[in-house]
Structure 1
């Protein structure tokens, strides 16, 4: 033991001790590193929630959407009739009272006549005055051809008659405007029962067409209300099957006036099928008038023409279509005129309903749409109320514009 201690205390012993310590430390470090490497190379245990890998699946075939049931202009599906119910039914306002109130509303909205009369009554009309008149007429959506015609007539008569009397000027303006509106056009709704060879009553049919948003469905309901007030029995057909709210809206109107609604049992059904069912139901019940509301989608002109044409053909397999009423928003102006042209080509329009005519700054659309289509304005709407629909009277319209 003494010898070992003596060796460790000598320089040689100290050197040996240091070497041993370094060797031991190196072995420890090598062992630690090897253990870590072994753990890294070991496979990770699979988590219980992981599903085993599956072989790739072949792509599924795309399934085309189920097409709407086609009507080959033969026998469509049986109808779904929404009953008006036994609740309280609103009594429509009488026709004379409604027309009187609508005249008063239209008269209170006029601004065109006031501007024109103010200019025409000036002592000496200059070029700037005539430009002001022309601008006023164009802003009223009278259209360029009608404006040029009216301007020529006014220039001639003011020059020949040489009057500045307000009453005389008003009379000149009234006569020229009335000539443009054309009171000779047939504005009656022709709703006599359709002729038939059997004993059944064949109802008159009204096809409502127009762009969504113009008040078409509401107008169909209001028209039903007008006809009920005149003592006619009415049935509504909800052929706008692409807008679920349209059928619900029509059913609401039906409940208000005690009129049933024929509607599809699902959204996206064939509109022609609903129209066919509505007319057939009306004939079986002995209904006087069937009003069919249609979709107003304008994705493509061709699709619109095809759809409306099919609806009309299917109806006419049972009865002739009595009226095709085009519903236009009077405030859309010349844009409304472009819409009218498209629908006039898609269906044989027999009359126009102008809604929102309580702002006569756009009242000139009455003249321009009639001149372009050769079709009369038959009904006008002047508000949101249930009785704010009335036959169009050219004299009342002109008198309201010029403030008489």
Structure 2
């Protein structure tokens, strides 16, 4: 639960966006119902008004004709202001007194506002999910499943959150899988992704966590073009007690990967984590370089790499779908790691990825510390995304 609390806290921008949206949708429906009720009451009010009016207006009617010549006598018509309360704006007061906050907190009448799940509400829910980067197809599928057997029923915000959270968790349940550990030694894990996605930090965290679990781990600093990446891995390696294999700046990363496999084999390592340079999916030359690394690795072991992890930055939104599509074709991606969920106001892209590609999601990251990367839990993620309290 500790990671869930952290996830919910750091996904605040995302969960509050969905949460506020859901509250607004239900409150809007509650307002419409209140308006309908008020209009019905107002329609009935004119019939009742004439009955009460004669009592006050008859005395006034007698006094008004006689004192027309004299100016002072209209003052007895002071009862007229007394007649103004008769329209009685009391029916409108229940709408004004609670206010939006009062309605959302359920203070109106002591119960939470409810709204009928109809076509209008479903359309609003779809728009909210699309705005959270869930994608059109996934948003339509999720809302359709929510409506099944519930269409036409009145639902509260809490009930909608529970339904939405359950649907998101159902979509993601099949892809929530930890990184598999094989008997093959060394197990070669190639880590790929675009520039700045968090590959180097993810490798450092994975190495430290597997080392703490008793695994013999080796890191290969395959981003030979960026000195900062090598230094960052060396810091993680020193912290975890894991050797980091490097090559001179500008060296061929495929050669380093081959040498690292030889070294890991000699050391009897359980895991070899190979970092790669960040590359944009639309740069054909860089993608070809990645394909070359894979070919060279397979010369050493035709079954390698045993895992190819694509690290995705949550802040890229729907562009993550294009990245998965491209990297999967060139590097045979076997699983995903989503980072920087603490830096986005929209976490729904992970749901879209699960729905479209069905690739295992091994871990998610919400910060820079070692315990800020954790195995993916669909129920915790769905609850944090929708703002559902699971305490």
What is the TM-score when the length of structure 2 is the normalising length? 0.70
Match of 2:87 in 1: none
2: CA distance, partners of 1:218 / 1:340: 20
Question: Aligned to 1:362, what secondary structure does the other structure show?
Answer: coil
Cα distance per residue 1:288-336 (max 9 Å; x no partner):
1110000112285432332122212222233322211101111110122
1 or 2, which has the higher helix percentage? 2
Is 1:218 aligned with 2:201?
yes
Specify the alignment match of 1:111 in structure 2. Answer: 16
Partner of 1:311: 293
Question: How big is each residue's C-alpha offset from its partner over 1:151-203, in whole Å with a ceiling of 9 and x where there is no partner?
Answer: 2223334316x24255543432232222222x123612122231xxxxxxx21
- The structure-2 alpha-carbon separation of the partners of 1:347 and 1:254, relative to structure 1 and needing over 3 Å to count, comes to same
Q: Are 1:175 and 2:166 an aligned pair? A: yes
Aligned match of 1:326? 310
Residue number in structure 2 paired with 1:145? 137
Structure 1 CA distance for aligned equivalents of residues 282 and 329 of structure 2: 13
- Counterpart residue number, 1:261: 244
* Cα distance between partner residues in 2 of 1:247 and 1:263: 7
Name the structure 2 match of 1:134: 126
Gaps of 5+ in 2: 27-112
Cα deviation, 1:326-376, whole Å, max 9, x if unaligned, reads: 011111101222222221222111111100112563211111122333312
With over 3 angstroms needed to count, the CA separation of the structure-2 counterparts of 1:227 and 1:235, relative to structure 1, is same
**1:107-164 CA-partner distances (Å, limit 9, x unpaired):** 222225523542356334566544432222112110110011122223334316x242
| Native 8 Å contact 2:115 2:154 kept in 1 | no
Aligned to 1:350: 334
Give the corresponding residue for 1:374. 358
Q: Which moved more, 1:111-120 or 1:316-325?
A: 111-120
Which of 241, 251, 262 does residue 224 from structure 2 map onto? 241
Q: 2:2 aligns with which of 89, 98, 101?
A: 101
- Are the aligned partners of 1:305 and 1:345 in contact in 2 as well (CA < 8 Å)? no
Q: 1:165 to 1:298 in 2, by over 3 A?
A: closer
Q: Name the SS of the counterpart of 2:188 in structure 1.
A: strand
Q: Give the structure-1-normalised TM-score.
A: 0.68
Residue correspondences, number: 295
Task: Give unmatched runs, 5+ long, in structure 1.
Answer: 1-99, 195-201
Contact (CA 8 Å) 1:203, 1:289: kept in 2 or not? Answer: yes
**Structure 2 CA distance for partners of 1:367 and 1:299, relative to 1, 3 Å:** closer
Q: In the alignment, what sits opposite 2:372? A: 388
Q: How does 1:187-202 map to 2 (within 5 A)?
A: 187-194=177-184, 202=185
CA distance in structure 1 between the partners assigned to 2:316 and 2:344 by the alignment: 12
Partner of 1:203: 186
- Which whole-Å CA distance do the structure 2 matches of 1:240 and 1:180 have between them? 35
Which stretch has the larger CA shift, 336-345 or 217-226? 336-345
CA distance in 1, matches of 2:7, 2:376: 11
TM superposition shift of 1:386: 2.6
Matched residue of 1:236: which SS? Answer: strand
Encode CA deviations 1:51-80: one digit per residue, 9 max, x unaligned.
xxxxxxxxxxxxxxxxxxxxxxxxxxxxxx
State the alpha-carbon separation in 1 of the partners of residues 260 and 357 from structure 2: 29
Give the conservation status (yes or no) of the 8 Å contact 2:193–2:312: yes
CA RMSD of aligned residues (A): 2.2
